Amino acid sequence: MTVSWENNYFAVRLGVIGARRYEKVSYPLYYGEYGVIETASDLLHFNREHEIIRAQGKGESWPHRNEWLKRSLGDDWLYYSTGGYTGVFETLGEFYLPNLPYPTNNLLGGHPLRDQAVRRVIDGWPRQVAACLEQAEEAPEAVKIFLRTCLAKTPEKLAAKSVAIFANYGGRPSVLPPDARHVDYQLIPVNIASGCLYKCRFCEVKNRTPFRAALASEVSRQMVGVKELVGADLANYGAVFLGDHDALAAGGELILATLGEAYELFQLKDSLMYSSSAFFFASVASLSAAGDDFFARLARLPYDIYINIGLESADQETLHYLGKPLAAREVEETFARMQALNDRYPKLELTANFVFDDDLPTGHYPAFLKLVRDSLPRRKVKGSVYLSPLKFDQPSRLKTFDFNRLKRESRLPVFLYLIQRL
């Protein structure tokens, strides 16, 4: 039930139900259930656990009235920027560019997180809530309790909670699949395998541990742990991320069992979000080891499932340059199988990553176009290809030009891989 109350100093709305379906729109759309505190200078959103999750400044000094801050499950503040509405959708497949507080491969965007008005909101929200509580003498008890509980979830406690979530997972997920953009990166992390198979020389996100699949009992314990940590906000989640860098290498049976258990334990049928999704990474080796029967069973689960695979290049010299221990022929075969699976199963989407840089061997882009243009008889909307720059720096004009050219020529949707962590 929604409760609204206001005085001359602030307004509160409790139990607001926002959008229940993820949509790609060019205006702010807030998902799930949340509570709102509004003052003359700020708009603050809190989740069902009374933890701050979004914020926006008001007035002239705020960079743009359609832009806002989001605090992630990993306790990062991200600034959602329109990018001036020029090129963000074409580049990312989304209307908003999440500006991240750590180095990543941005082709767009400035540094809004350094903006004074933005810093004031990030650093000052507890003072705003405390000031509202001081002005709340006449407010109903429900409003006072809400304010007190929000205030008790201090930045230190929020940081400690994210540390507990990482510990439960077995470390912080250093990168989420690019397809997680379809649920605004709002997902419950469940780690079913640590490490990866290849340890490619170029990769910035790998860890050093040898690959190891988790035991089903460890995964079950972990799911109970994350459910407890997410608490009452669980109803705002409709998506699961199976970590870490190559969940498929943990084996089809573990994936099917984990997704089945997650659906029940996380009560995804009763989520405020209408559809359920699952995301994980795979590799050339793990995809080739997974039989057709696995994909048929996967497609019968009550999820939309996104599997992202780092192919990197279909050119042998480039694979060698990257230190990726694969033959170009294996990459071509994997790409062809991905297309076949995408055509066969409406609820599965397999997407691929390729590297993108000014200094790659000359065979890389022709080999890329041979796959994404010449090997396909027609344009397709499914099976996005993500380009991942090797260097996390400002874009060169050449890079931007190359990106646009590759996007135009490809018969699959092409986007930039914005490397976002949990």
**Shortest distance (Å) from residue 282 CB to ligand SF4:** 10
Q: Indicate the residue type of 296.
A: A
**Whose Cβ is closer to ligand SF4: residue 46's or residue 198's?**
198
Decide if 363 contacts 317 (C-beta within 8 A): yes
**Whose Cβ is closer to ligand SF4: residue 211's or residue 365's?**
211
**Shortest distance (Å) from residue 279 CB to ligand SF4:** 15
**Whose Cβ is closer to ligand SF4: residue 236's or residue 283's?**
283
**Shortest distance (Å) from residue 195 CB to ligand SF4:** 8
**Whose Cβ is closer to ligand SF4: residue 266's or residue 417's?**
417
Decide if 355 contacts 321 (C-beta within 8 A): no
**Contact footprint for ligand SF4 (CB under 6 A):** 196, 198-200, 203, 205-206, 245, 283, 310
Cα separation, 167 vs 165, in Å, equals 5
**Whose Cβ is closer to ligand SF4: residue 301's or residue 355's?**
355
Alpha carbon distances (Å) from 102 to 18, 83, 97, 255, 418: 29, 18, 14, 31, 12
Write out the DSSP string of 270-295: G-SSSS-EEEEEE-HHHHHHS-HHHH
**Shortest distance (Å) from residue 194 CB to ligand SF4:** 11
User: How many Å from the N-terminal Cα to the C-terminal Cα in the chain?
Assistant: 31
Q: Does 244 sit behind a cis peptide bond, omega within 30 degrees of 0 on the bond before it? A: yes
**Shortest distance (Å) from residue 156 CB to ligand SF4:** 32
Q: Which residue, among 53, 55, 101, has the nearest Cα to 78 in the 3D structure?
A: 101
List all residues 6 or more positions away from 245 whose beta carbon is below 8 Å from its beta carbon: 175, 193, 195, 196, 205, 206, 207, 281
DSSP code at position 206: -
- Is 21 exposed, middle or buried (CB count within 10 Å of its CB: 0-12, 13-18, 19+)? exposed
Q: Which residue, among 265, 194, 274, has the nearest Cα to 228 in the 3D structure?
A: 265
Q: Indicate if the alpha-carbon torsion angle 162, 166, 167, 168 is positive or negative.
A: positive
**Shortest distance (Å) from residue 199 CB to ligand SF4:** 5
**Whose Cβ is closer to ligand SF4: residue 27's or residue 102's?**
102
Cα separation, 155 vs 153, in Å, equals 7
**Whose Cβ is closer to ligand SF4: residue 199's or residue 380's?**
199
**Whose Cβ is closer to ligand SF4: residue 302's or residue 323's?**
323
**Whose Cβ is closer to ligand SF4: residue 75's or residue 332's?**
332
List all residues 6 or more positions away from 9 whose beta carbon is below 8 Å from its beta carbon: 39, 131, 132, 135
**Whose Cβ is closer to ligand SF4: residue 109's or residue 361's?**
361
**Shortest distance (Å) from residue 361 CB to ligand SF4:** 18
Q: How many CB atoms lie under 10 A from the CB of residue 260?
A: 13
